Structure 1
């Protein structure tokens, strides 16, 4: 989410939490897909430099205009470890604001994110790049994850749909959570409570020595767990346990801040 922060010449750093009345740049109604989709009356220009191809850990990403972008996949979220840091657009990350990061959509832009487990949807301002984990399609602020009811899960299956350019002046206005669009909305299902203990998996390696080296900088609660997956023996670097999912998620974010980008929250080890 944070590997591509650049010094943007002339970028205006704005607060991502301005209210609708203050911004005066968007309304709700008549947009693509239904009355809950915002209509941006004063769109912000794409931030210079954010549409160039870039490389992260040997893989190339190629941002582009994607007006019909509509994808289902996994979403993760981040918070304290990155609060206040600059994003790819030059805005400051506010973990309580309705924002997100995407690998290739135009910046800044708006997306509609729907939690497929409960049918809850939000409109978010995309102002950063990430997440650079193969099986995830979007990274959410803590505030967005809270609106979607996915704080405890850490990672949830979502639908992401590009809405269009974000408004000039920051934010999307106000947090916007709504029921979706009739028959296209998945039926809500009761949230499930995950049972502990909770662990953070900070890596999986085929060589025990490599796993031990990876574990050395991760604190006192680290252990090496040997497992067999599809006939292969692997060594998992595990942090924990915790009885509380939120405490484990804080530890996961701490591991991400120390460079373990694909740290996973798991339960019932």
Structure 2
């Protein structure tokens, strides 16, 4: 494919994506636009029992509401083994929700977590204790790890900032979201599909391998879950990947450029 044809395909892909976003259904975004910090007008009470000193593996921890908490360290994630079980707050752990576990911050609370490697950010509801592994500052749900780009590697460096008290329900949201551009600039991506159901998008991403991620596109007051594969630094490689995705059964796969 010539460069002119590739550029044409990119333009058509972006136009198709914008049209899809404009017709997307209503979503369940808990806060305002991308990048906004939450304003909690009716915070949930801190679960008093979770603020007592406690001991794990011979080490004592003293929970405290530290409004200046701003720490860089390693994050891990947990999923299937704990899915459906009660957290320290009594809430049921949903591995696909935007939640996290922390050793000392108030429960439930909100933190802003930034993946230092790719700049992705998310607001997470902290409703559990952990991780009790040296050098790790936070444990992410599977959904949070996926949003931050840490799912495949398992452990990665993050910056954790305490935002404040959590609302009575929910409170987790991506901050770095793409409206009509991929999650990473200066690259080419293949969009395998866009879905209103995030679980369907995750199943598709799982079929397409480690380079596939689920990105959220805001469309008015709704959301569209896009399965993106990549990135690639040049259009030729991306087009070859698009053809491979088409061969996997996704005939409408699009080539997207963020240049």
Aligned to 1:146, the other structure's residue is in SS state helix
Q: Which residue of 1 aligns with 2:204?
A: none
Rounded Cα–Cα distance in structure 2 between residues aligned with 1:77 and 1:189: 28
> Match of 1:163?
163
SS at match of 1:50: helix
**Which residue number corresponds to residue 152 of structure 1?**
152
Q: Deviations over 1:164-221 (max 9, x none)?
A: 00001x211x632317xxxxxxx9898xxxxxxxxxxxxxxxxxxxxxxxxxxxxxxx
Q: Higher relative contact order at CA 8 Å, sep ≥6: structure 1 or structure 2?
A: 2
Structure 1 SS opposite 2:48: coil
Return the TM-score normalized by structure 2.
0.56
Q: Secondary structure, in 3 states, of the residue corresponding to 2:127?
A: strand
Aligned partner of residue 38 in structure 1, secondary structure? coil
Change (3 A) 1:88 1:188: farther
Question: Which residue of structure 2 aligns with residue 56 of structure 1?
Answer: 56
Aligned to 2:173: 175
SS in 2 for 1:39: coil
- Stretches (4+) displaced over 6 A: 187-190
Contact 2:95 2:143 in 1 (8 A): yes
Please name the residue that 2:116 is paired with. Answer: 116
Show the counterpart of 2:134: 134
* Partner in structure 2 of residue 90 of structure 1: 90
CA distance in 2 between counterparts of 1:189 and 1:118 reads 13
* Counterparts in 2 of 1:66 and 1:189: CA distance versus 1, 3 Å: farther
Distance (Å, rounded) in 1 between the aligned partners of 2:175 and 2:35: 13
Deviation at 1:119, TM superposition (A): 0.3
- Report how far residue 134 of structure 1 moved: 1.2
Query: TM-score normalized by structure 1?
Result: 0.54
Deviations along 1:210-241, whole A, 9 cap, x unmatched?
A: xxxxxxxxxxxxxxxxxxxxxxxxxxxxxxxx
Q: Distance in 1 between matches of 2:80 and 2:53?
A: 29
The answer for unaligned runs of 5 or more in structure 2 is 1-26, 178-183, 188-208, 212-259
Residue by residue over 1:121-159, the C-alpha shift from the partner in whole angstroms, topping out at 9 and shown as x without a partner, is 000000000000111000000000000011111000000
List gaps (5 residues or longer) in structure 1: 1-17, 21-25, 180-186, 191-243, 247-269
Secondary structure, aligned partner of 1:160 = strand
Distance 2:134 2:186 in 1: 27
RMSD: 2.6
Q: Is the 8 A contact 1:27 1:40 kept in 2?
A: no
Match of 1:125 in 2: 125
Whole-angstrom CA distance in 1 between matches of 2:116 and 2:150: 11
Structure 1 residues 35, 140: CA separation in 2 closer, same or farther (over 3 Å shift)?
closer
Greater helix share, structure number: 2
The answer to whether the 8 A contact 1:61-1:104 is kept is yes
CA distance in 2, matches of 1:84, 1:40: 26
In 2 relative to 1, CA 159–57 (structure 1 residues): closer, same or farther, beyond 3 Å? same
Classify the secondary structure of the residue corresponding to 2:73: strand
